[in-house]
Amino acid sequence: MKKKTQDYLSNLIWYFTIFSILGMIVETLFCYATMKIVESRKGFLYGPFCPVYGVGAVFIIAALDRFKESKTKVFIYGVIAGGIVEYILSYGLEAVYGLRFWDYYYLPFNINGRICLLYSIFWGFLSLGMIYLVKPNVDKLINKIPKKNIIALILFIVLFIDALITFTAISIYQERARRVYYNEEPLNEPSLTQQLFSNEHMLKTFPNIRLNTREGEIIFIKDILK
């Protein structure tokens, strides 16, 4: 039973890692295809991860794999689960990055612009593809990895540290921008953070982070720091 639990948790970490990397690749290619620019679409400061995709994949697999005997249940529960994930992530990303990555106010049957019926239905179809097509092949890949549980533990530690560093870096970056915007004294910070989280590095990694001002405006930090 203990081994089974370890394998299950290990697989969840692998799902998060794999789909976060794939998500970053997809986002980067989509950005280039639509805007003809190569721009960072990472969610972590150092690792090549777009965690929105990793969280979504883990949630769908953990919630729906038990219902794989019924495609109808997978679809219906996928609609519901996808809506929940999207709503929670919308709040979380806005809190961390200071902006909404999507807004569905222009679509009918939306809830606070964070989710809408149309995209929730897309989540249902995505869930079908994930459970019946993608997951079985990813499982085969994971099972071929030697010492996969040990490596998964290392990955978890690396991801956790990267997430903490990212949150700290973004907080410092936003505070710098706020002080520049309001013509206040520069942030008194150690030289180490100035080097590790330099404005150049932050701008390159997170080009679309915005600052919520006291007046309720939302401004691109790259425009403030010009």
pLDDT tens column, 9-64: 999 999 999 999 998 998 899 888 888 888 888 889 999 998 888 988 999 999 99
Burial of 58 per CB tally in 10 Å (0-12, 13-18, 19+): buried
In a domain, 161, yes or no: no
In a domain, 142, yes or no: yes
Please state, rounded to an integer, the average pLDDT across all residues of the chain: 90
Burial, 44: exposed, middle or buried (Cβ in 10 Å; 0-12, 13-18, 19+)?
A: buried
What would the mean pLDDT of 78-88 be, rounded to a whole number?
91
Helices and strands, number each (H, E), in the chain: 9, 4
What residue numbers bound the domain in which 183 lies?
Answer: 166-224
Q: Does position 96 have pLDDT exceeding 80, yes or no?
A: no
Domain boundary among 149, 180, 215: 149
Q: Model confidence at 184, in pLDDT bands (50, 70, 90)? A: very high
137: Cβ contacts below 8 Å, ≥ 6 apart: none
135 shares its domain with 212? no
**Sign of torsion, CA 225 211 19 12?**
positive
Q: 149, 178, 200 — which closes off a domain?
A: 149
Same domain for 142 and 179?
no
Strands 218-220, 210-212: pairing is antiparallel
Are residue 89 and residue 143 in the same domain, yes or no?
yes
Same domain, 219 and 127: no
The last residue of one of the domains, among 122, 149, 176, is: 149
Total domains in the fold of the chain: 2
Based on the domain organization, do 6 and 99 belong to the same domain? yes
My answer on whether 216 and 119 are in the same domain is no
